[in-house]
Amino acid sequence: MKPLSIIWISLYGVMASCSFSGQQETRLTRFVDPFIGTAYVGHTHPAAQMPFGMIQVGPDTGTDTWEHCSGYYDKDSSIIGFSHTHLSGTGCPDMGDILFMPVVGDVSFYRGDKSDTSTGYRSTFSHATEEATPGYYKVFLKDYSTWVELTATDRVGYHKYTFPRSDLSGVMIDLNHGIGDMPLETEISVLNDSTVAGKRRSTGFVEDHTYYFYARFSKPFARIRSFSDSIVSENKQVNGKNSKMHLSFATGDKEVVTVKVALSTTGIEGAEKNLEKEVGMLRFEEIREKADKTWNDYLSKIEVVPLSEEQRISFYTALYHTLVMPNEITDVDGTYSLPDGTRLHSGTDRYTNFSLWDTYRATHPFYVLMYPGENSKFVESMIDLYKQRGILCTNEYGQNETWCMIGNHAVPVVADAYLKGLISPEYRHLAVESINASLTRSHPKSDWGMYNMYGYYPFDLLDVESVSRTLEHGYDDYCAALVAKAEQDSVKQSFFCWRAESFKNLFDPSSKLMRGKDSKGRWREPFDPFLLSHAGTSGGDYTEGNAWQYTWHVQHAIPALVRLMGGKEKFENKLDSLFFLDIRSLGGGFHGDVTGIIGQYAHGNEPSHHIAYLYAYTDGTYKTQEIIRQICDRFYLPTRDGLSGNDDCGQMSAWYIFSALGFYPVDPVSGEYIIGAPQVKELRLHLPNGKTFVMKAHAISTENKYVKSVCLNGVPLDSFKITYDRIIKGGLLEFEMINTK
């Protein structure tokens, strides 16, 4: 066994690597495959969009099953149409707003059956005709012999249709369509012979959200057919819960018709402003080129020398997936509307779609390191939500709190930005206030009176997730204590430090697992550590997991957990059991989106994500190196089914990026990263402060997956951590890789 022995640290000088020569001139967008994760349970989508843009314009193949959370599923063979909003990698379906579908003929107003597309306006397609790169999507609709190309700006979806010769080419607009939701109000109005506008308000997983649209065609309409709540007419204006419109015109062979569709949360006027500002008279190819350049600029912040070309695709696709959510809600003039219609002016960009139970772990720490300007806007958006609601969001989509998951994990994200000085001065006081309020004002997923009284959630008083809620609140409390310390508020620091140790109250020394306890202090009986809660937050003491997976959810106090286990050797043995105990051999099994299984470890679900790095606290650090390689080789493949679980708004992808670098934020607010093992030959980070940080893995190969030593430009450090402060100064982090433990 060869444990991680030496870490060398110093400032980075001028280090040029011939391995990167000419790479800056390469369009990195060609190494991104947006189809990765669209099969199995990845729940990604291939829509055209800009980084963190309002628009995600792309194909919907289904809307009514769990496989269709993003609207697109690889196993489908027909397309319903092309909607303008999509979620990426979530386990709950929603969005799919404002669907446009090019059609040929006198088609039905119904989407039709996927087994027989002649029953509606749906069309069959072949994956062989699909193409997708960042900001661009293309497909051939077999039923209509029509090519569809899509590109986007932040707020505008740009459609390009190449029709066959027909007297009845056209476009179906369906505002009844949505992914797993129901329309509440819809309306469509023809403004002139080539412009339509309208509104869709809906409810579903997102309780109440509204988008307005403004669409300009390059060809005037020759015929208008309308549909409103089952009534067919030729009206130029329709409204109700189910509004649709079929706009037709004659086309010659291979005639191109374009449609520019702008969205807004404020109204049709706002959507029109967005279209004029971002697209105006620009051609489709010009917008596509601008989108490609913008994406290339974002991707170029990191250069990689991979072990293979397949790994290059996996890496840049992961980077791409970290940059598609959260999403813009402001118009070009800085205004946006709340779900109740209240119009606000922010003066800067504001965002929605925060999957914080997932993304506080690695995605936001990645933004802090590489895209801090964007992350500051995300944090200030969360604080604006606090001003409206009195607490920070937990899992917020479409400007609605969904209460889908547990914890108050906007707290670590806001705390991290606060502690690193990455919030504008006018928001610093509100940041502190929002953290304190969110951890003292009860909401549907917390009861602070109960939590304070017992020091944990008793399972007889809280019949679901008592263990998971206790552990996840404990991490938030730790983050609040760090902020209180920075504020020199000793009272709050002491209070939150006390609560941050709540995990000790649920550690069962007999099983050495986190176990449910009732209000009398009695352990749950009978106790089945393999019992897995259902997907979501329904039933059991754990959230989407079991005792084996949640026992390690003490990100802020691993040394204390080591002591509870009885020391390093017993801690290591317990970790070994986690990775080698296979419940399926015991007659049990996993279900839902608890996937990516290694023993009891579930990489497809976020509570497991830091666990592989915990061998750093033992004498068996080589085991982390083995497991990281296994996870990367098995669960991050450059194929449509290449993700082992929901990408969850970039969290799965951010894990991969950090792990490829050779370190990971086990405690994401601490400013420390735990050393693991790099997965690529070289990585160069072009930091936002103008510095450059380079990682080199000397002699890395399929066999050479173990770390002999680590250095950062020549100065030894006997530690298994590297800090944020050292990285942002720039440096050369070097790993010596070998093939023995």
pLDDT tens-digit readout, 679-692: 999 999 999 999 99
**What's phi and psi for 676, nearest 5 deg?**
-120, -110
DSSP code per residue over 586-625: GT----TT--SEETTEETTSGGGTTGGGGGGGSS-HHHHH
**What's phi and psi for 450, nearest 5 deg?**
-65, -45
pLDDT of residue 8: 31
pLDDT of residue 582: 66
Helix (H, G, I), strand (E, B) or coil at 70: coil
pLDDT of residue 660: 98
Domain housing 120: 32-281
Q: Per the domain annotation, does 150 fall within a domain?
A: yes
Looking up tokens 């980075």, which residue turns up?
12
Number of domains the chain contains: 1
Looking up tokens 């007297």, which residue turns up?
167
How confident is the chain (741 residues) per 10-residue block, as mean pLDDT?
Answer: 34 36 70 97 97 98 95 98 98 97 97 95 98 98 98 98 98 98 97 98 97 98 96 96 98 98 98 98 98 98 98 98 98 96 93 98 98 98 96 96 96 98 96 98 94 98 94 98 98 98 98 97 94 58 93 98 98 96 52 80 95 97 97 97 96 98 98 98 98 98 97 85 97 97 91
Q: Per the domain annotation, does 24 fall within a domain?
A: no
Q: Per the domain annotation, does 509 fall within a domain?
A: no
DSSP code per residue over 152-207: E-SSEEEEEEEE-SEEEEEEEEESS--SS-EEEEEEEEEEETTEEEEEEEEESSSS
User: What mean pLDDT is reported for the chain?
Assistant: 93
**What's phi and psi for 438, nearest 5 deg?**
-70, -20
Sign of the CA dihedral running 272, 277, 278, 279:
positive
DSSP code per residue over 287-317: HHHHHHHHHHHHHTTEEEE-SSHHHHHHHHH
User: Could you give the angle at the alpha carbon of 725 between the alpha carbons of 722 and 728, nearest 5°?
Assistant: 100
Q: Per the domain annotation, does 633 fall within a domain?
A: no
Give the bridge partners for 401, in sequence order. 396
DSSP state of 114: T
Q: Per the domain annotation, does 215 fall within a domain?
A: yes
Q: Per the domain annotation, does 222 fall within a domain?
A: yes
- Work out the number of other CB atoms within 10 angstroms of the CB of residue 535: 17
Contacts of 464 (CB under 8 A, 6+ apart): 537, 538, 539, 540, 541
Q: Per the domain annotation, does 63 fall within a domain?
A: yes
pLDDT of residue 593: 61
Q: Per the domain annotation, does 276 fall within a domain?
A: yes
Residue 273: CATH number of its domain: 2.70.98.10
pTM to 2 decimal places: 0.95
Query: Could you tell me if 365 and 393 are in contact, meaning their C-beta atoms sit under 8 angstroms apart?
Result: no
